[in-house]
Amino acid sequence: MSDQIYFFDTTLRDGEQCPGASMNLREKLEVARQMERLGMDVIEAGFPCISDGDFEAVHTIAREIKKCRIAGLARCVKADIEAAAKALEPAGERARIHIFLATSKLHMQFKLKKAESEILRMAAEGVSYAKQFVQDVEFSPEDASRTDLDFLTKVVETVIDAGATTVNIPDTVGYTTPDEFYRIIRHLKENVPNIGKAVISVHCHNDLGLAVANSLAAVRAGARQVEGTINGIGERAGNVALEEVIMALRTRAGQFGDVTDNINTKEIVRTSRIVARMSGMQVQRSKAIVGENAFAHSSGIHQHGILNCRETYEVMDPQAVGWGATELPLTKHSGRAAVKSRLEQLGHVLTEEEVNTVFERFKKVGDSKKFVYDDDLSAIVDDSLHASTGLWELDFLQFVAGSHARPTATVGLLKEGKKFEDSSTGNGAVDAVIKAIERITRRKGTLKGYSVNAASEGKDALGEVTVHVDFGQPKPIVGKGASTDVIEASARAYLNAVNRSIRMENMPQPNNLDAGTI
């Protein structure tokens, strides 16, 4: 009989903790909807007790997503568990409370300052309390890969007795190796008497570049849930890239037994692009599976081989993960109904007012390029809806630049129906534009990151600009903008960051949680 492998996506929780990867509610919901189309089994939507924003995100995703289990993270603290349960209420029987508690000697001695007996008691009480709210409880012994194996065995047995349905074994700091992790999982399978009552999960970080190898070793040892993120985003060196694990299991099925999963692999590339756009964390060109060069062949020998037989230099079909699948592009002559239909096909759930806003922007973009591709349209959605909800809007932009001209920009902004205009010089056109915006908005930031990516192919492709700006707030603000003119896209991106910074000041600040995370 085949074994089911469950995939648990934590892009919206662990992935978002990556500096510069912050997402707002609309962006998180967009990612969650795509995860549903991908066939993800569990979506960890956030850490409800950490802030009102995280609580709202978990609650909204629990209400809107119908096919996936929705998880909320909590420490072994009643207040955390209660917050998670409240946020997850709309998910009903699909709700999962995910509790974590450190178990390694290092963490117990220097962070928690508690003995093993106290850890066992807290773990059992936390799981038992969570079971009063939901039937599906997952427990994670933080820093499990550096935990004494005999004690880890006791912890796992204890939490299963208390009602845990999934026990996750995290390699919290990316320290373990494949052989060692295999032995840990096999030891638990063979020495925990009640292990048959729970699913063993693994959650690997990539500090030594071994997250995928460790996850696959765990599957071989008997783990049946893999946790990670799309594109491998996350704290430090990131989490395991789920798309790599999924395709390794599919491509080398004979190495892992008769395992199956629920993933629609043709949605992988689209999911990767949506996560990159929503998080502002771009994918490197050479990234496995989803990088632009993943199926590119420049060597003449390789090209000849591919033309004769794809398998000579490709171990998987690029169309199987979503490369090459495209719709006929729209043009400036396409009507509102056609645009709305394509938006729905792409998974954008918009109100009629939002469709109107996007359509107006679409017509303007259509005037400046021959075809509007699906990726262009997604960039237009992101850019337009940021602008429509912003405090400041771009009215017009003029700039002068050149090798023998001093870069100068004049910017016009709108706010509450009023027009504002100012000019500035700078070290290049983008710098001049940013300084003009800062003069108008009276909000100065430090540019920490700037990137430009083409949304689609062709010299008239929309340029997507992502900026990371430090306004003196807890974390840098991500701003995004799109236009066929890169300078205009830069202005839109920086203005988007300014608006987000203003909104951030009016939101309650996250709680100061010092208990760590898996």
Report DSSP letters for 241-295, one per residue: BHHHHHHHHHHTGGGS-SEE----GGGHHHHHHHHHHHH--PPPTT-TTTSTTTT
Query: Alpha-carbon distance 75 to 98, whole Å?
Result: 8
Query: Alpha-carbon distance 30 to 15, whole Å?
Result: 15
Pair (87, 157) in one structural domain: yes
pLDDT-derived band at 297, boundaries 50, 70, 90: very low
Single-letter amino acid, residue 432: A
Q: What is the 8-class DSSP label of residue 330?
A: B
pLDDT given for residue 369 in this prediction: 80
| Other residues' Cβ atoms within 10 Å of the Cβ of residue 50 | 20
Cβ atoms 60, 92 nearer than 8 A: no
Pair (156, 218) in one structural domain: yes
Pair (382, 395) in one structural domain: no
Pair (114, 257) in one structural domain: yes
Pair (382, 454) in one structural domain: no
SS3 428: coil
pLDDT given for residue 510 in this prediction: 59
SS3 96: strand
Q: pLDDT tens digit string along 124-137?
A: 999 999 999 999 99
Whether 516 is covered by a domain: the verdict is no
Pair (169, 196) in one structural domain: yes
The CATH number given to whatever domain includes residue 487 is: 3.30.160.270
Binding-site positions read 14, 203, 205, 239
Cβ atoms 431, 491 nearer than 8 A: no
306 Rama sector, left if φ>0, alpha if ψ -120 to 50, beta otherwise? alpha
Which stretch of 363-372, 384-393, 489-498 has the lowest confidence by average pLDDT? 384-393
pLDDT given for residue 124 in this prediction: 98
Report DSSP letters for 456-500, one per residue: SSSTTPPEEEEEEEE-SSSSPEEEEEEESSHHHHHHHHHHHHHHH
Query: Alpha-carbon distance 140 to 111, whole Å?
Result: 17
Query: Alpha-carbon distance 344 to 358, whole Å?
Result: 13
Whether 7 is covered by a domain: the verdict is yes
pLDDT at 459 over 90: no
Whether 330 is covered by a domain: the verdict is no
Pair (367, 395) in one structural domain: no
Whether 284 is covered by a domain: the verdict is no
Q: What is the mean pLDDT of residues 282-297?
A: 86
Q: What is the mean pLDDT of residues 94-104?
A: 97
CA distances from 203 to 21, 39, 41, 165, 392 (A): 20, 19, 15, 16, 41
Whether 289 is covered by a domain: the verdict is no
314 Rama sector, left if φ>0, alpha if ψ -120 to 50, beta otherwise? beta
pLDDT at 99 over 90: yes
Q: What residues pair up with 283 in beta bridges, in sequence order? A: none
Residue for token pair 């949680």: 513
Pair (307, 352) in one structural domain: no
Q: What is the mean pLDDT of residues 362-388?
A: 80
Whether 46 is covered by a domain: the verdict is yes
Pair (345, 460) in one structural domain: no
pLDDT given for residue 325 in this prediction: 58
| Other residues' Cβ atoms within 10 Å of the Cβ of residue 332 | 15
Q: pLDDT tens digit string along 326-338?
A: 566 788 888 899 8
pLDDT at 216 over 80: yes
Q: What is the mean pLDDT of residues 41-47?
A: 97
Q: What is the mean pLDDT of residues 4-16?
A: 96
Predicted TM-score of the model (pTM): 0.86
Which stretch of 160-164, 218-222, 303-307, 371-375 has the lowest confidence by average pLDDT? 303-307
Cβ atoms 479, 496 nearer than 8 A: yes
Query: Alpha-carbon distance 139 to 73, whole Å?
Result: 10
Query: Alpha-carbon distance 435 to 413, whole Å?
Result: 13
Q: Taking the CA atoms of the chain, what radius of gyration do you get in angstroms?
A: 24
Q: What is the mean pLDDT of residues 269-294?
A: 90
Pair (341, 314) in one structural domain: no
pLDDT given for residue 54 in this prediction: 93
pLDDT-derived band at 303, boundaries 50, 70, 90: very low
Give the closest residue to 98 by CA, choosing from 64, 142, 68, 57: 142
What's the number of domains the chain is made of?
4
pLDDT-derived band at 83, boundaries 50, 70, 90: very high
Pair (273, 382) in one structural domain: no
Average pLDDT, the chain: 90
Single-letter amino acid, residue 465: V
Q: What is the mean pLDDT of residues 205-216?
A: 98
pLDDT given for residue 367 in this prediction: 86
pLDDT-derived band at 372, boundaries 50, 70, 90: confident
pLDDT at 162 over 50: yes
- Which residue, of 350, 365, 387, is where some domain finishes? 387
- Which residue, of 387, 405, 423, is where some domain finishes? 387
Pair (154, 266) in one structural domain: yes
Order of strands across the sheet that contains 418-425 = 393-402, 405-415, 418-425
Q: What is the mean pLDDT of residues 81-101?
A: 98
Token readout for 41 is 């089994």
Q: Supply the range of the domain harboring residue 367.
A: 336-387
pLDDT-derived band at 1, boundaries 50, 70, 90: very low
Whether 517 is covered by a domain: the verdict is no
Q: What is the mean pLDDT of residues 264-275?
A: 94
pLDDT given for residue 65 in this prediction: 97
- Tell me the percentage of the chain whose pLDDT exceeds 90: 63
pLDDT at 244 over 50: yes
pLDDT given for residue 299 in this prediction: 44
pLDDT given for residue 257 in this prediction: 85
Query: Alpha-carbon distance 285 to 291, whole Å?
Result: 5
Binding-site positions for Mn(2+) read 14, 203, 205, 239
pLDDT given for residue 301 in this prediction: 46
Q: What residues pair up with 423 in beta bridges, in sequence order? A: 410
Q: What residues pair up with 372 in beta bridges, in sequence order? A: 330
- 254 CB contacts (<8 Å, ≥6 apart)? none
Whether 454 is covered by a domain: the verdict is yes
The CATH number given to whatever domain includes residue 208 is: 3.20.20.70
